[in-house]
Amino acid sequence: MTHGHHHPPATGPEFDSGPPSEHEILSRAMQELLEERGVITAEQVRARMEKFEQDFPYRGQRVIAHAWVDPAFREKLLEDGKAACAEFGIDLEADKLIAVENTPEVHNVVVCTLCSCYPRALLGMPPTWYKSENYRKRVVREPRAVLREFGTVIPDHVSVRVHDSNADMRYVVIPMRPAGTEGWSEERLAALLTRDALVGVTVPKLTA
Amino acid sequence: MSSSPGRFTVGQAVRVKASYPPGHRRTPFYIRGKRGTIERICGSFPNPEELAYGFDGEPKRVLYRVRFPQKEVWPDYRGAERDLLELEIYEHWLDPA
Amino acid sequence: MTHEHHLPSDMGGEEAGPVDTHDHGMKFWEKQANALRGTLTSRRILRLDELRRAAEDLGSRYYELGYFQRTTEALRAVLLEKGFFTEKELEARIAEVRRRYE
């Protein structure tokens, strides 16, 4: 396994430790009532949890790695994100996708200031910082300062573009492919594409 | 990508309405009254302002991506001159600039 | 800038402290709550827009609650609105669930 491969947060135990919170109790109560009334089934909810655990978080890195090696696919992805993913065998369900590319002149970063819109069917669940008030408040107004907090410094001659996914579209960043990766397999390239790089708060790094 | 007929074309200068109606809106406060350019036409979608209250949101409204220079949005913006902010604005929130 | 109808959720551009850049992940119940929400929206039983609006309508509680607390309370509001159960039925089930943990 390549060092630096991004792992989504580890699957917790089947039950959280400690007494349940009021909101956990509320959530379980609502789910049970809906199941009993035939609105949904436990299996549907379980299947969705599995998708979020085992499927969604791994898709983005594969799509972008493919865009790195296949220029025609990259163009398709930029033109129509959802259709390109479908061609690649990935169904984004309700998400509509806009891919934005980093270049030597442009660095992109994504936020949802109004709530937490995020391409979940491509990247899985958003990280806690993405949903945090401080990120939502500040990244539209002082993106360079926020990026520095992630250890990312963008030179002044590079334009920083903040994308606020405030309506129906969802966003993924196509980072620049690092030098020294010539001839790498897509799998090896995918390992460089951390979730944070696909949201735009970091850039892919080659590690030893 | 859908390029449904709408009032505005790519590259056109537009201004977000400085309007503050109550209720569910997808046009953030910080962008109201600001001037930008149409970056692309995203397509037509049911109006979220109606979906939020259980209505079907029809007829669909045209959604645009609009590009704003950061210096236009924040008078005290301290980043680089060419930094941009891009967001999605529904047609009924836009006027020609 | 203050306006009478300034919703707490509409926070872009406000001043705030440093971002906690560590991803704290999700508890099991949060993953399940998220899946419940996704199951309901993907089956068009309710719309994401309705859930957002209900979260926005939490008023001052918006800032007192964490993300999954907000989304859970928003879900309660919308499910009650749509008559999937009554307040009484929900309260009764909550009490029963709570008893199971004792």
Mean pLDDT in chain A?
92
Q: How far is C83 from chain A (nearest CA, A)?
A: 11
- Chain B interface test: which of A101, A159, A171 (most B C-beta within 10 Å): A159
Higher confidence at residue B23 or residue A4? B23
Chain B residues whose CB is inside 8 A of the C13 CB are: 28-30, 73-74
User: What architecture (CATH level 2) is domain B13-96?
Assistant: Roll (2.30)
Separation of alpha carbons B21 and C23, rounded Å = 36
* pLDDT score of A15 more than 70: no
Question: CB distance B63–A167 less than 8 Å?
Answer: yes
Give how far B1 is from chain A: nearest CA, Å. Answer: 6
Predicted local confidence at residue A12, as pLDDT: 46
What is the torsional sign of CA A25, A28, A34, A39?
A: positive
State the pLDDT at residue A83: 97
Per-residue pLDDT 10s for chain C (102 aa) are: 455 557 899 999 999 999 999 999 999 999 999 999 999 999 999 999 999 999 999 998 999 999 999 999 999 999 999 999 999 999 999 999 999 988
Q: HEC profile for chain A?
A: CCCCCCCCCCCCCCCCCCCCCHHHHHHHHHHHHHHHCCCCCHHHHHHHHHHHHHHHHHHHHHHHHHHHHCHHHHHHHHHCHHHHHHHCCCCCCCCEEEEEECCCCEEEEEECCCCCCCCHHHHCCCCHHHHCHHHHHHCCCCHHHHHHHCCCCCCCCCEEEEEECCCCEEEEEECCCCCCCCCCCHHHHHCCCCHHHHHCCCCCCCCC
Q: What is the pTM of this model?
A: 0.93
Contact between A159 and B80 using a beta-carbon 8 Å cutoff: yes
How does pLDDT run across C46-67, given as a tens digit for each residue?
999 999 999 999 998 999 999 9
Mean pLDDT lowest among A2-11, A90-99, A128-137, B23-32: A2-11
- Chain C residues with CB under 8 Å of a chain B CB are 1, 3-6, 10, 12-13, 47, 49-50, 52-53, 56, 81-82
Catalytic one among A21, A27, A115, A159? A115
**DSSP single-letter state for residue B60:** P
In angstroms, rounded to a whole number, what is the distance separating the alpha carbons of residues A136 and B30?
12
Contacts of A114 in chain C (CB under 8 A): 9-10, 12, 52
Residue spans of the domains in chain A: they are 22-54, 59-199
pLDDT at C5: 58
For residue C59, count CB atoms less than 10 angstroms from its CB and return exposed for 0-12, middle for 13-18, buried for 19 or more: exposed
Rounded to a whole number of angstroms, the distance from the CA of B6 to the nearest CA of chain A is 17
Least confident span in A163-167, A195-199, B4-8: B4-8
DSSP annotation of B42 reads E
Of A137, A131, A167, A165, the residue nearest C67 (C-alpha): A131
Residues C5, B28: C-beta atoms closer than 8 Å: no
Task: Give C8's contacts in chain B (Cβ within 8 Å).
Answer: none
Residue type at C83 in one-letter notation: G
Radius of gyration for the alpha carbons in chain C, expressed in angstroms and rounded: 16
Pick the CATH number of A59-199 from 2.40.50.100, 3.40.50.300, 3.90.330.10, 3.30.360.10: 3.90.330.10
Closest chain C C-alpha to A17 CA, distance in angstroms? 9
**Residue A85 annotated to the active site:** no
The set of residues, in sequence order, having a beta carbon less than 8 Å from that of A191 and lying 6+ positions away, is A1, A2, A4, A5, A6, A61
Whole-number pLDDT of residue A19 = 87
**CA–CA dist A176, A204 (Å, integer):** 8
Token reading at A179: 């030098």
Place A16 in a pLDDT band, splitting at 50, 70 and 90: confident
pLDDT in tens, B39-96: 999 999 999 999 999 999 999 999 999 999 999 999 999 999 999 999 999 999 999 9
ipTM of predicted complex: 0.95
Are C22 and A128 inside 8 Å of each other by CB?
yes
CA gap B64, B67 in Å, rounded: 10
| C-alpha angle C35-A164-A194 in degrees, rounded to nearest 5 | 60
Task: Compute the mean pLDDT over every residue in chain C, rounded to the nearest whole number.
Answer: 94
Place of tokens 């099991």: C28
Among C10, C56, C81, whose Cβ lies nearest the Cβ of B29? C10
Q: What is the pLDDT of residues A123-137, one digit of tens each?
A: 999 999 999 999 999
* pLDDT the model gives residue A4: 38
CB neighbour class for C92 (10 Å; exposed up to 12, middle 13-18, buried from 19):
middle
The rounded distance, in Å, linking the Cα atoms of A173 and A101 is: 6
Task: Report residue C86: phi and psi, to 5°.
Answer: -95, 165
Q: Are A167 and B93 in contact (CB under 8 A)?
A: no
Is residue A112 part of the annotated active site? The answer reads yes
Q: Is the pLDDT of residue A86 over 70?
A: yes
Q: Does the structure show a pLDDT above 60 at A1?
A: no
Using 50, 70 and 90 to split pLDDT, how confident is the model at A116? very high
DSSP summary character for residue C84: S
pLDDT at B1: 47
Q: Structural domain boundaries of chain B?
A: 13-96
What strands, in cross-sheet order, belong to the sheet with A106-111? A106-111, A159-164, B84-90, B61-69, B35-45, B13-16, B94-96
Give the per-residue pLDDT at A2. 38
Domain coordinates in residue numbering, chain C: 28-100
